A = this chain, B = another copy of it.
Amino acid sequence: MTEIKLGIAGLGTVAQGVLALIRRNGALMAQRSGVTLRVVRIASRREKPGVDLMGAQFSTDLDDLVSDPDVDVILELIGGEGVALDLIRRALASNTPVVTANKAVLAAHGNELMSGPGKQQLRFEASVAGAIPIIQGMSGGLAANRLDSLFGIINGTCNYIFGEMESNGTPFDEVLAEAQRLGYAEADPSFDIDGVDAAHKLTILLALGFTGEYDLSAVHIEGIRHVTVADIQFAKELGYKIKHLGIIQNTAAGVEARVHCALVPSNALLANVNGVMNAVQIISDGAGETLFSGPGAGGEATASAVLSDALALGKQFSTGNGIGVDTQASETTQAPSPAILPMAEVTSANYLRIPTLDQPGVFAQVTQALSEFSISIDAAIQHEASASQPVVDIVLLTNNVVESAMNAALERLQGLDIVAADIVRLRVAPAL
Partner of A287, one of B29, B304, B326: B304
Q: Which of A336-350 contact B (CB under 8 A)?
A: none
A285 in the interface (beta carbon within 8 A): yes
A75 in the interface (beta carbon within 8 A): no
Partner of A308, one of B143, B288, B298, B304: B143
The answer to whether A136 touches B144 (Cβ under 8 A) is no
Contact with B along A298-332 (1 / 0, CB 8 A): 10110111011001100110111110011000110
Chain A interface residue count, Cβ-Cβ cutoff 8 angstroms: 69
B contact residues around A146 at 8 Å (CB): 24-25, 28
Q: Which of A190-244 contact B (CB under 8 A)?
A: none
Chain A interface, >50% SS class: mixed
CB distance from A329 to the nearest CB of B (A): 11
The answer to whether B133 touches A307 (Cβ under 8 A) is no
A272 in the interface (beta carbon within 8 A): yes
Contact with B along A250-291 (1 / 0, CB 8 A): 000000000000000001110011100101000011111111
The answer to whether B284 touches A289 (Cβ under 8 A) is no
The answer to whether B286 touches A304 (Cβ under 8 A) is yes
The answer to whether A286 touches B311 (Cβ under 8 A) is no
B contact residues around A355 at 8 Å (CB): none
The answer to whether B288 touches A301 (Cβ under 8 A) is yes
A430 in the interface (beta carbon within 8 A): no
The answer to whether B287 touches A142 (Cβ under 8 A) is no
Q: Which of A352-408 contact B (CB under 8 A)?
A: none
Of A30-38, A47-55, A179-187, the one contacting chain B is A30-38
A316 to B140 CA separation, bound complex (whole angstroms): 13
Copies per complex of this chain: 2
A57 in the interface (beta carbon within 8 A): no
Give the nearest-CB partner of A26 in chain B.
B144
A294 in the interface (beta carbon within 8 A): yes
The answer to whether B140 touches A286 (Cβ under 8 A) is no
The answer to whether B294 touches A287 (Cβ under 8 A) is yes
B contact residues around A133 at 8 Å (CB): 136-137, 140-142, 290
Q: A325-B325, A326-B326 are in contact. Are A136 and B140 (CB under 8 A)?
A: yes
The answer to whether B286 touches A300 (Cβ under 8 A) is yes
The answer to whether A285 touches B319 (Cβ under 8 A) is no
CB distance from A121 to the nearest CB of B (A): 14
A/B interface sample: 28 pairs, CB < 8 A: A31-B333, A31-B334, A33-B143, A131-B290, A140-B311, A141-B304, A144-B303, A144-B304, A144-B308, A145-B304, A269-B269, A272-B272, A285-B300, A286-B303, A287-B294, A287-B295, A287-B300, A287-B305, A288-B300, A290-B293, A291-B291, A291-B293, A291-B294, A312-B326, A315-B326, A322-B322, A322-B325, A326-B326
Q: Which residue numbers of A lie inside 8 Å of B, CB to CB?
A: 17, 21-22, 24-25, 28-29, 31-34, 125, 131-133, 136-137, 139-146, 267-269, 272-274, 277, 279, 284-295, 298, 300-301, 303-305, 307-308, 311-312, 315-316, 318-322, 325-326, 330-331, 333-335
